[in-house]
Amino acid sequence: MFKPWLAATCLGAALSLSSAVHAEVKIAPGLSSFTVMHDGEEVEIKRAQDQEHQIHPLYALTARGMPQPMHPFAPHPVETLGEREFVDYMMQAQQDDNIMIVDTRTIGWHVRLTIPGAKSYPYTMMDDAGDRDWALDDFGVVKTGKEEYDFSKAKTLAMFCNGYWCGQTPAMIRKLLEVGYPAEKLKYYRGGMQAWTSLGFTVVGDDAR
């Protein structure tokens, strides 16, 4: 007869073994890490393997603003990205100059903590004609006249801000749409920094840890 105490002992041993050996925390099937350039240096993107790792304190609070809709730009066909899709754009951007990863937050947020490979273009730039044209030039847009632009070589922009509740990227995308930027070349990573840090992805900045 199988003894109850023996069953309990076997279960306890199995639990001890499973807690001691953890599977690798991956990004996607077959993808554990990849490398991007950030400020002239290579940075390896991966997820924290420490089983006790916690979300960064900058994004620990839950008392934030209202969540953004999944598709806040309708009827414009701006694609909303999850982490896997965003990572795909990050990897493509390393080989294709026509793709940019854009941090739309104000500069203070960017300096404190950001996603490696991201370039800072605060959403507030869209409110000043000179700053807007400077950003558009970097985005591959040619100004052809006063408030007139040629978007034929516009880059694909994968953009993010602080998280589901943050309105900085939506504000910038709306401004870009207003001046005629092709909607299909604008990508919205809705989860932003809060989702990125909640998954233990690599970050850089003054507050990186």
* Residue range 15-52, pLDDT digits in tens: 444 444 678 999 999 999 999 999 999 999 999 999 99
pLDDT value of position 3: 54
Q: Contact at 8 Å (CB) between 99 and 90?
A: no
pLDDT at 4 over 80: no
- Determine, yes or no, domain membership for 115: yes
Whether 9 is in a domain gets the answer no
CATH number at residue 126: 3.40.250.10
pLDDT in tens, 116-136: 999 999 999 999 999 999 999
3-state secondary structure of 18: helix
Is 138 inside any structural domain?
yes
Q: Are 188 and 157 in contact (CB under 8 A)?
A: no
Q: For residue 119, what is the enclosing H or E element? A: strand 119-120
The first and second tokens of residue 163, run together, are 């998280």
> What is the Cα–Cα distance from 187 to 32, expressed in whole angstroms?
24
Does the residue 90 lie in any domain? Answer: yes
In this structure, is residue 55 part of a structural domain?
yes
pLDDT of residue 203: 98
Give domain status of residue 2, yes or no.
Answer: no
User: 135: helix, coil or strand?
Assistant: helix
State pLDDT tens for residues 133-191: 999 999 999 999 888 999 999 999 999 999 999 999 999 999 999 999 999 999 999 99
Q: For residue 63, what are its two tokens?
A: 């008392």
Within a domain: residue 27? no
Residue 145 lies in a domain: yes
pLDDT for residue 96 is more than 50? yes
Torsion of CA 133, 138, 139, 143, to 10 degrees: 40
> Pairing relation of β-strands 79-81 and 186-189?
parallel
Q: Which domain holds residue 42?
A: 33-198
Count how many domains the chain has. 1
